[in-house]
Structure 1
């Protein structure tokens, strides 16, 4: 894959929003795919297709039902309007009293009859210290990886061994560029460049740490 093209295929925005739990941070991703809105909706909601590009999911996958992604977040389906809008609560680990974290996926037609646009917005109340340390890249890089997987899947390909790929030079390049891209979006959103540089460095080190030295280093 062309890593730079994959990074540039995603538009990123960082902002703020008011929620019942107080002021939240928002990350918004937008990417178009060579498929129809109906097929894209099925790819992001069908429990048989989700594991092919994201994660296995279990639970009551209906409005008001609870879901759980294997080894990841879970929550409640609070809006479902096929084939255009899906909103979920998004809780990783134990719920935080008074916390707020929601993900909304919006689909719309793109340019051409077989083109669809996906917007994913994650709104969450974030601990200020955690934001200062990592910024939006803490979740943004993960979402970039998900949209990359979706694009490969819809294009007829896939990463054969995601765990092995995650340790590869290609993966580290993707995650490093993703972290940098979220840094640029954060500066555009009003954060000071010096503070953002710290966020980007910490996020990059978390997702793409320096490989071990030695003859077998990647």
Structure 2
């Protein structure tokens, strides 16, 4: 599947929100991303829950994708399916690098298609937040929502190597820059200092677009 998009316009399809929260007495930051698709809700639900389709736009997954089951994304996060209400919503723990956060995906019929809302709630690590802000998780979800849109539009699978090469291309850098700036503005709306938020966004862009040394 080719990645033939207007990167800035595609980044602009996502509405971003940042909230400050609390879970079990621990301060959290909540990143909310919303994007609409022309596909019917049943098709979007299948794309985000069917283990045969998830790798076509996201990454390989294994486990029991039912309420109470455990899942594992290849080389990435794993966790527990805490709630599954087809075709409306699911909630999972997101366990990675020794930490636990929480992701909820909700699908609503919208304008003849489907509105997807993704909520990622994470405990606050002040130094990490100061360095990267919400873009640390938000930009990754932006790229995933882009991949989902390409898959829903074509039915084809994303080539991981092609996606990795695209992310460090001029188009990929433009997409990441626009997405990170959007998350910075959302952080400012939640009360973060504007200068600090945009500086964190620039560090996020560098993180996502710097080619690793061999």
Q: Do the two structures share a fold, i.e. TM-score over 0.5?
A: yes
**How do 1:125-204 and structure 2 match up within 5 A?**
125-156=123-154, 159-160=158-159, 161-204=162-205
The answer on 1:104 being equivalent to 2:108 is: no
Unaligned runs of 5+ residues in structure 2 are none
Equivalence for 1:90 = 94
Q: Report the 3-state secondary structure (helix = DSSP H, G, I; strand = E; otherwise coil) of the residue aligned with 1:121.
A: strand
**How do 1:4-15 and structure 2 match up within 5 A?**
4-15=8-19
Q: Report the 3-state secondary structure (helix = DSSP H, G, I; strand = E; otherwise coil) of the residue aligned with 2:76.
A: coil
Out of 51, 54, 75, the residue aligned to residue 55 of structure 2 is 51
Equivalence for 2:120 = 122
RMSD of aligned residue pairs (Cα, Å): 1.7
- Flag the 1:74–1:21 CA change in 2: closer, same or farther, 3 A: farther
Report the CA distance between 1:207 and its aligned residue.
1.0
Distance in 2, Cα, partners of 1:174 & 1:43: 23
Structure index of larger Rg: 1
Report the CA distance between 1:211 and its aligned residue.
11
Q: Which one has the bigger strand percentage?
A: 2
> Post-superposition, which runs of at least 4 consecutive aligned residues in structure 1 deviate over 3 A?
157-160, 209-212
Report the CA distance between 1:201 and its aligned residue.
1.8
Asked whether the 8 Å contact 2:12–2:179 carries over to 1, the reply is no
Asked whether the 8 Å contact 1:79–1:87 carries over to 2, the reply is yes
Distance in 2, Cα, partners of 1:55 & 1:209: 21
Which structure would you say has the larger RCO, counting Cα contacts within 8 Å and 6 or more residues apart? 2
**How do 1:54-73 and structure 2 match up within 5 A?**
54-73=58-77
Unaligned runs of 5+ residues in structure 1 are 213-218
Report the CA distance between 1:167 and its aligned residue.
2.6
Out of 32, 37, 41, the residue aligned to residue 33 of structure 1 is 37
- Flag the 1:89–1:211 CA change in 2: closer, same or farther, 3 A: closer
Distance in 1, Cα, partners of 2:212 & 2:68: 44
- TM-score normalised to structure 1 length: 0.89
Distance in 2, Cα, partners of 1:184 & 1:167: 23
- Flag the 1:58–1:2 CA change in 2: closer, same or farther, 3 A: same
Distance in 1, Cα, partners of 2:20 & 2:136: 16
- TM-score normalised to structure 2 length: 0.91
- Flag the 1:141–1:131 CA change in 2: closer, same or farther, 3 A: same
Equivalence for 1:209 = 210
